[in-house]
A and B are shown apart, each in its own frame.
Chain A
Amino acid sequence: MSVSATSLLVPALVLGLGTYGFRVVGPLLRDRFTLSERVERLMVTATVVLLAALVASAAFIEGHAFAGWARPAGVLVGAALAIRKAPFVVVVLAAAATAALLRLAGVP
């Protein structure tokens, strides 16, 4: 194996191991102690907040900068449909189609 291959193989494995570490800590610790109802609720709220923050970043940001208008416009259409209880399929396809059509029309 060449040096350059090793220099990529090891980092890739380390990233995989570290990520698995993050993933497995919660499930492994879960049996060790029973959580109060309040802490259980905090965990669910934390997940909701993390996912909401992911929605916001993924909708508006590319790298460290504004992603352009096509993407947030698509997400907004999808979100509005979701709030109006449209089927999931409609939400997802409408979001993608809005962004794709806006880009086709020249909106970045």
Chain B
Amino acid sequence: MRSIWRSLDPALARDIALVLVADTLVGVSFGAIAVGAGLPFWLPMLLSVVVFAGAAQFIFVGLVASGGNPVAAVLAGLLVNARHLPFGFAVADTLGTGWRRLVGAHLMIDESVAFALAQPGQEQRRRAYWVTGVGLFVCWNVGVLAGAVAGTAITDTNALGLDAAFPAVLFALVLPSLRDRHARRAALVGAAIALATTPLLPAGLPVLLALAGVAVAEISRRGSAQAQESS
């Protein structure tokens, strides 16, 4: 792992480090909120190790803390995490083989996928994926532990604007892929579908429905290919 850190481009290492700091603070708030809501000390830490996905963890804790049915909390969390299925097919090649593939799969989160996607070559993608994944796993769990122990030191990360930092991070990482006109159309349609359906559907589903946007990219690609042929 140390050799991967060393071989990482310094600018990329700095970018990843910034995201690690921001997500550590969100982890602190998650630990504090879960314990503050009266849930046992070990629950946020267990979730952070075995689930390791912020949005699903917040939803799970929010539902069980408000007296919701644990089965419903599991289903809500699974729905939010279903996006990892298509992610898995996209990053499969960057994980390696054997045990690396099994461990690497657990490190699959929005940030590691987005950092990998933003790299130009296969080898850089692999490094970016692993450094982000391992770094976030460590930082997220340390943050959650600190929050669960220290309690209410940081519960409102919104006051720090961290809720605006997360989408900005993803946008900056996805931006190079949006230079492709067809991908840009697909992304716009997908984002519009997700926003339009959010008030009506359970969390997680709108983002999955956004995948319909992929069809737009294909149609648009085929259209421009035909136009080229006929001209």
Contact status A78-B92, CB under 8 Å: no
Chain B residues whose C-beta falls within 8 Å of the C-beta of A25 in the assembled complex: 85, 88
Q: What is the size, in residues, of chain B's interface with A at 8 Å between Cβ atoms?
A: 90
> A88-108: contact bitstring with B at CB < 8 Å (1 yes, 0 no)?
110111111111110100000
Residues 134 to 149 of chain B near chain A (Cβ within 8 Å): none
Q: Which residues of A contact B (CB under 8 A)?
A: 5, 7-20, 22-30, 42-61, 63-65, 67, 70-75, 78-79, 82-83, 88-89, 91-101, 103
Contact status B43-A12, CB under 8 Å: yes
In the bound assembly, the distance between CA atoms of A73 and B159 in angstroms comes to 14
Chain B residues whose C-beta falls within 8 Å of the C-beta of A45 in the assembled complex: 182-183, 186, 214, 217-218
Least CB distance from B192 to A in Å reads: 8
Q: Which residues of B contact A (CB under 8 A)?
A: 14-15, 18-19, 22, 39-40, 43, 46-47, 49-53, 56, 60, 64, 70-71, 73-74, 77-78, 81-93, 95, 101-102, 104-106, 108, 110, 113-114, 117, 158-175, 177-178, 182-183, 186-188, 190-195, 198-199, 203, 206-207, 210-211, 213-214, 217-218
In the bound assembly, the distance between CA atoms of A8 and B39 in angstroms comes to 9
Contact status A103-B174, CB under 8 Å: no
